[in-house]
Structure 1
């Protein structure tokens, strides 16, 4: 098992500076994510806090994880959470079909490895918790998967044909077994059948038959992949979760104006430090959703009323509704962070670079709600490098840093250095000969009818373009047939930079598992990754 770490710039400058430990970024959070002293300090703070709902939290988690057939090892970790000196490392993701892009898998691996590492270093139980954002109602973000067709045709996007009506969340969206089965057929038809295909098909079809919603299907797949490693699952819309969140929803309603003011001040501080806006902050945002007839609608605050497109409430009416029916309430990106911190004794939160940038706004909001921002850890990023591709990189003397940060420039330079095909000179000579013959004819035409000068010029350009078109197609065909190097360059690009972006943001875990087996998930968990903000290259 070979792993290599490389330092790469992050697209989000705030997250990049945070990884590098720049004071301007670290000051937004309170803890440095890569210093052990941060974890001891945070642990000491947690030990001084009360979590009176631990038993009810463990009961709810146990029931839910049993319901999605999570592994006994995960259930064992939930039992450990009843102990006052047990803590969590937590992160989450939307409930993408077949787990969505690879980065979902990488986040689960990071949580498991971080929990193992911290348990050993701090000599206390730390369990990994994966928060399924099942209430996300942007179904278009989770109803599809990408896979690589070949190096010429690139990446294919396949959608599940879900019946989407209104602002329904993934946890409310029933599984359409026929539509999902058609999706699976498309997936397996597009992939070469291997010795691993039957077991993957069995896992996906078994979990599909048992699932009650798209979020439930996601949870069952994740349980099968990572439950044996102790990954505990929680889904945001569960009734027990909402019941336990009620005190924090009350604070968000009662302190709504203050929270908005603090978010605005955080934005000003970030801009003063030279960082662009990371989060949409509006004076009238209530940072809450409310379910109306099953639809998850955004609440906004105008004067003394909370309004969505169907109803209007006073603060007192909202508080009474919260007491009577907490299931009507749902968190947004800001309040979700508060709910998570209220629910769990959180040692560290693991998030993507965008999430890290959002959390830079929350420090004072947490304090206003009687909480403290946990250690915010950027999720590790990983590229899976198959052996044949590694050999191709060596053949071009290409480093992974070049591929992931400057491949387009390298490719242009490489193409310019290639020996031109002899036919290219012949086509150039043909164009010159064509002009030599055709230009005198055009001159005669223009003498006879000056009004045809423009048409004659267009006609000349058209003839030359047709010769160039034929040249381009022929040279491309010859390259494809004769030039192995061109094939290899396209192969590298398609596998490591599909659609021009990092592999983990586009391709699916199950495409790789189809070639390497479901044990790939276990190999990733056991890999010696450096959880230090560097990019990880994992050789397959």
Structure 2
């Protein structure tokens, strides 16, 4: 398999310097992500820790994964979690429609590969776990997908209509069968018909029909794609998860002021080290959500009371509520990692650049609650490179690294070197003709009424400016329509740098699967990717 590694700077500076092992960034974390000794130290710490309810955890995981149709391989991995010598690597994502952007797929691939690698190197069982953030209520982030039709240069955005009243979580959003049918019909209408199309359509339609909500559809798709590789799925709102999280909810409530203070101090240290702040930390933040009916509402602290938009609670009331109705509570970006660490014996957490920057705040919070931050491993970043696209790039004398690192600058230089369009000469002649006819008229107007000189001159300038505007727009239109090289450049941009960002942040997996088959997932899982923070180019 053809995998190429290139160095790309992470968009987030703290994440970039953490990847590079810069001490100024490493100071905010408990371990170095690329040193094997760190994993041995983490394993030793986990081996000395008790308190995991493995029996209840595996019982809940088994029931959920069986219900969503996960494979026997994944169910076998869950059985391993009953044993004290079994650990996990964990990462997660929102429940995006049709699995969302490609980086969701890449994260799952990384989890599976990392689990296999660590199992072999540490001689223990390591299980890959994908945490579905099904409670996120920012539905606008998950209800759409982007795809690029074959040989097209225009990015398509397609949205699945979802009811979005209030602050309802994805795991509570019912799927409308007719809306799903129309959505999938529209999606496949934009894809070329291949030998793979029928099987992919059947997969998407059958999983949608079997799913009660958006998060479940996501889970069923991920199970079908990755279950045979042993990926275990868990969704954040499951009742057994809530039950197991009770002690953490209570500790967060009890130590709420101290947690806020630790986060503020961490923000000060991050800023002092010269890094931009990725989280907005306020002293009154409670770092928990509470359900009021179907709405997931943020809790804030006012002295010794906790409030949201609809209600107020004393600390004792909230502690009692956590014990009796844990399903009403939900973690936020700060406390989610604490929940994962409490539930799972975690060797490493795999996260994207933004998540890495968030976790820089959490080290002391983990320690306050008697835990230690796991190894934070930057997610593998991948670009899928099709052969036809590679030939287009080579035709311009470029490499894939040139495209991903400095394409806008190259494009600007390329455009500056192009020969003027023949229409330029015709527009120049038109300007000269207008000047020849109109200038004497301007002079005559000024002779008859000197006060109109400025108006006449301005009128002439506006006329010429309108001609220049028309020239620019028409030439651009003709170039886009007729110039083969311009279209090739646009195709490169749309495929590899859609809307100026990396491919994995926009494009959907299933448009690639429609061309190359669902076994593209298997090829990715088996690919010899480097786990060193470099960007991976997978040649399809």
Band of TM-score, shorter chain = over 0.9
State the match for 1:395 in structure 2: 395
Q: Aligned with 1:274: secondary structure? A: coil
Deviation string for 1:241-293 (max 9, x for gaps)? 00001111111111111111111111111111111212111100011111111
In structure 2, distance between residues paired with 1:474 and 1:255: 65
In structure 1, distance between residues paired with 2:367 and 2:438: 81
Q: Aligned with 1:131: secondary structure? A: strand
Q: Aligned with 1:333: secondary structure? A: coil
Q: Aligned in 2, Cα 1:194/1:451: closer, same or farther, shift over 3 Å?
A: farther
Q: Aligned with 1:376: secondary structure? A: strand
Q: Aligned in 2, Cα 1:473/1:333: closer, same or farther, shift over 3 Å?
A: closer
| Contact residue 52 and residue 345 of structure 2 kept, 8 A | no
State the match for 2:342 in structure 1: 342
Q: So what's the TM-score if we normalise by structure 2?
A: 0.97
State the match for 2:253 in structure 1: 253
| Contact residue 95 and residue 133 of structure 2 kept, 8 A | yes
In structure 2, distance between residues paired with 1:411 and 1:110: 33
State the match for 2:83 in structure 1: 83
In structure 2, distance between residues paired with 1:187 and 1:200: 12
State the match for 1:92 in structure 2: 92
Alignment of 1:31-110 (within 5 A): 31-110=31-110
Q: Is 1:9 matched up with 2:25?
A: no
Q: Aligned with 2:172: secondary structure? A: coil
Deviation string for 1:98-119 (max 9, x for gaps)? 0011111110011011001111
| Contact residue 252 and residue 259 of structure 1 kept, 8 A | yes
Q: Aligned in 2, Cα 1:261/1:480: closer, same or farther, shift over 3 Å?
A: closer
State the match for 1:354 in structure 2: 354
TM-superposed deviation, 1:74: 0.3
State the match for 1:172 in structure 2: 172
In structure 1, distance between residues paired with 2:185 and 2:280: 40
Q: Aligned with 2:178: secondary structure? A: helix
Q: Aligned in 2, Cα 1:193/1:454: closer, same or farther, shift over 3 Å?
A: farther
State the match for 2:313 in structure 1: 313
TM-superposed deviation, 1:470: 4.5
In structure 1, distance between residues paired with 2:330 and 2:477: 56
In structure 2, distance between residues paired with 1:147 and 1:446: 59
Alignment of 1:266-277 (within 5 A): 266-277=266-277
In structure 1, distance between residues paired with 2:276 and 2:477: 46
In structure 1, distance between residues paired with 2:226 and 2:126: 16
Deviation string for 1:9-39 (max 9, x for gaps)? 1111100000000001111102110111111
| Contact residue 150 and residue 494 of structure 1 kept, 8 A | no
TM-superposed deviation, 1:451: 4.7
TM-superposed deviation, 1:181: 1.4
Q: Aligned in 2, Cα 1:361/1:489: closer, same or farther, shift over 3 Å?
A: same
How many residues align? The count is 540
In structure 2, distance between residues paired with 1:110 and 1:365: 27
In structure 1, distance between residues paired with 2:221 and 2:450: 74
In structure 2, distance between residues paired with 1:90 and 1:263: 23
TM-superposed deviation, 1:473: 4.8
Alignment of 1:287-302 (within 5 A): 287-302=287-302
RMSD after superposition: 1.5
Unpaired segments ≥5 residues, structure 2: none
Q: Aligned in 2, Cα 1:299/1:478: closer, same or farther, shift over 3 Å?
A: closer
Unpaired segments ≥5 residues, structure 1: none
Q: Aligned in 2, Cα 1:61/1:481: closer, same or farther, shift over 3 Å?
A: closer
| Contact residue 2 and residue 539 of structure 1 kept, 8 A | yes
| Contact residue 30 and residue 372 of structure 2 kept, 8 A | no
Alignment of 1:109-508 (within 5 A): 109-149=109-149, 154-476=154-476, 478-480=478-480, 482-508=482-508
Q: Aligned in 2, Cα 1:150/1:464: closer, same or farther, shift over 3 Å?
A: farther
